Chain A
Amino acid sequence: MDLREMVKAWKREVLGSSDEGGKRGHENPVTDTGVEIEPVYTPLDGPHGSEAVRAIGLPGRYPFARGIDPLMYRNVPWIKRAYSGFGDPTVCNARYRRLLECGADEIVIAVDLPTQVGYDSDHIMAKGEVGKVGVAVDTLRDMELLFENIPLDSMRRVSMLGNSFGPFALALFIALGEKQGLKPEQFVVDLQNDSIKEYVARGTYIFPIEPAVKITADVIEYCSEHMRHWYPCTVCANHINAAGAGSTVAAAFALCNAAVYIRELVKRGNHIDNVAPLFTMFVDERTDFFVTVALLRAARKVWAEVLKTRLGATSAESLALKMTAYSHGGETLLEPQNNIVRITLAALAYVFGGVHSLYNASFDEVLGTPTEDAAKIAIRTQQILTDEFGITTTSDPLGGSYFVESLTQTISEEMLSEFMEVEEMGGSLEAIRRGYIQQKINEGAIRRQREFEQGKRTVIGVNKYRIETSPPRGAFRIDPKAESRQVERLKSVRKERNQRTVDEALVYVHEAAEGGDNLVPAVLEAVRAYASVGEVCDVLRSVYGEYEGREYFTSKR
């Protein structure tokens, strides 16, 4: 009997005829990203044997589905990131030291919302928000305090998001390195610097979208010339998925956004193989373990194929996509200790998928800013996964699983087709103008809420096995005086600095913006002179204008 016949017979015997359908175990579950899961997978469901080796390759080889490094974590374990920031810089410095003492490889500075959208701590829009979702960084002085007694070269990497104002974030690190006596080649900086996704998810936009793309590209271009070992742009699927798009579509949109930045850079005369290696992708899947594994494998494959065949990249560094992820998503407010297990499983899936850097949510993050103990557990979880249980002993340990290979194939086909859909529309800027991406996100968000309310997604302790407990108390409190302390600090920086140097630097920023030059050198001068984020940003607002939100809607008839 051939395999096809065997599988057919098996299905007949096990599942019976179709009119018996609906019995428990007979209906195929559908994953959050829309893949229907069969009861069993066989070589019929994907590429296998020598065909598979040709299709998916080997670790460290094109199309990199099995990982970007031949020896993967045997060679270098993934970078263990800690995302942290709250209050004002002095309080935060103590937390950073503790996280590094626990063995974190990278501090990702969470900055507060005013800083993210280019307002100083004493701006009217900053009232009540200073130090809330992150630490306030108004000037270089705050960076000096944040990293007091933490040399930048003592970490594998150091990071800040800097989505809408990447040049400022980049300049802060270059200037802080100078203060610490370090040259850029002695340490590694990693930025998110992905402005486009802010217009469809997350919402920390500042400028209209076209100058935003230019500003993002400036940072990548500057790094490609001066610090090629830095990570100046992380295209994000994370926020697009979290907002509702689903993980496959979100990764496709992130790839579309990367294509916008790459084309902008190529248009300026940069060779694609000079800029493409500097990109990373922030993937995200929060519901299905095996989909996560397949997602990372698929995203690397699709990236490699698109960059090679559509964008014309040729070097292995351009085609091998480094990915970061955030173990996070299914946490519950009720019985929050259970979140440790959820986060561990999410992290394991990303590791099986071959992630390059990873951070874990803290189990109490659903309550607010993590406590120190919870942040420590988040790092310990990653360390346990690296060094205990033999998880990292071989590359792509799930490669060859009928199920995982089939999922990888299905997801890569869908990702590529969604990418092409947007390409045919004219790229992601046009798709955003038409509201196409927003609509995909909205539909997904409503579907998820419906599934949650219908109990289709089981959440232990919430809609299954629930016992009556009151939601936990004891959320971490931000020092309420942090805002006024920060405002005072900013005032004294303004008093102490050489105002003439600041004014000259701001004129230089204005000229660079007007002239369409790369903004980084001018912004770096301003940062060195202790100009504040709001001052530099206001100059750019005067040139580029501001983005007017378009989220308003009404159901009134």
Chain B
Amino acid sequence: MRVVMGRRVRVLVGKVGLDGHDVGARVVARALADAGMEVVYTGLRQTPEQLVNAALEEGVDVIGVSILSGSHMALFAEILRLLEEKNARDIHFIAGGVIPTEDIQPLKDMGVAGVFLPETTTRDIIDFVVRLVDDSLKADKDLQQGG
């Protein structure tokens, strides 16, 4: 199931900004890799620019960012703007960490596909990523067949 439409799902897991707490990022990265996905973990202190460039270079389907510093609004807006600017809105963006509940809807409206709070299982994240990539590949295919 980690092979969607004939190829492995590719995910970039990253930390943006100065926040150095990376247990969540490392645990999720490992779980996605164990589930058969191709995973690249950027390490700490990426700028939105570095993160988006890495995602393009690696040709990933999904970017997942972990953040605990409260700087998510500004940094995520910048990531989404860069994806737009670089014509890469087909890369899904998901996030997790310490994020106030009332920020979830605004983040989704902004274009974040999924927001995962503490106490989420890695199973939930794996399933979500698979569904996300699966749905968008199907949509692409329908579009191609239709057009």
Listed in ascending order, the chain A residues whose CB lies under 8 Å from chain B are 113-114, 116-117, 119, 124-129, 132-133, 198, 202-205, 242-244, 332-334, 366-369, 442, 445-446, 449, 452-453, 459, 462, 470-475, 478, 549-557
Contacts and interface: CB of A to CB of B under 8 A. Distances in A.
Nearest to A334: B119
B27 interface: yes
B38 A555 contact: yes
Given A125-B18, A366-B98, A368-B100, A449 B31 contact: yes
B23 interface: yes
Contact of A369 (B17, B44, B70, B119): B70
Interface centre among A125, A198, A555, A556 (most CB of B within 10 A): A555
Given A128-B78, A129-B69, A333-B117, 10 more contacts: A114-B18, A132-B71, A202-B20, A203-B22, A333-B118, A366-B118, A445-B23, A446-B27, A549-B43, A551-B42
Contacts of B20: 198, 202-205
A556 B98 CA distance: 29
B121 interface: yes
B18 A551 contact: no
B101 A203 contact: no
A551 B23 CA distance: 11
B40 A556 contact: yes
B89 to A, nearest CB: 22
A473 B106 CA distance: 14
A92 to B, nearest CB: 15
Interface string B81-102: 0000000000000000010111
Contacts of B69: 113, 129, 132-133
15 contacts: A125-B18, A128-B75, A202-B21, A203-B19, A203-B21, A203-B22, A243-B23, A366-B98, A368-B70, A449-B31, A453-B122, A471-B117, A551-B22, A553-B41, A556-B39
A376 to B, nearest CB: 21
B133 interface: no
A116 B20 CA distance: 11
A133 B70 contact: yes
Given A129-B18, A243-B23, A551-B22, A333 B119 contact: yes
Contacts of A453: 121-123
Contacts of A366: 98, 118
Nearest to B19: A113
Interface of B: 17-23, 26-27, 29-31, 33, 37-45, 47, 68-71, 73-75, 78, 98, 100-102, 117-119, 121-123
Nearest to A244: B23
B98 A203 contact: no
Contacts of B45: 125, 203, 549
B27 A475 contact: no
A333 B71 CA distance: 19
Contacts of A119: 18
B70 A552 contact: no
Nearest to B73: A128
A449 B20 CA distance: 19
B18 A552 contact: no
A445 B43 contact: no
Interface centre among B18, B38, B40, B42 (most CB of A within 10 A): B18
A445 B28 CA distance: 10
A516 B18 CA distance: 29
A153 B108 CA distance: 49
A113 B18 contact: yes
B32 to A, nearest CB: 8
B74 A552 contact: no
B117 A552 contact: no
Nearest to B54: A552
A478 B70 contact: yes
Contacts of B23: 242-244, 445
Contacts of B121: 452-453
Contacts of A198: 20
A516 B30 CA distance: 42
Contacts of B22: 203, 243, 551
A128 to B, nearest CB: 3
Contacts of B21: 202-203
A556 B38 contact: yes
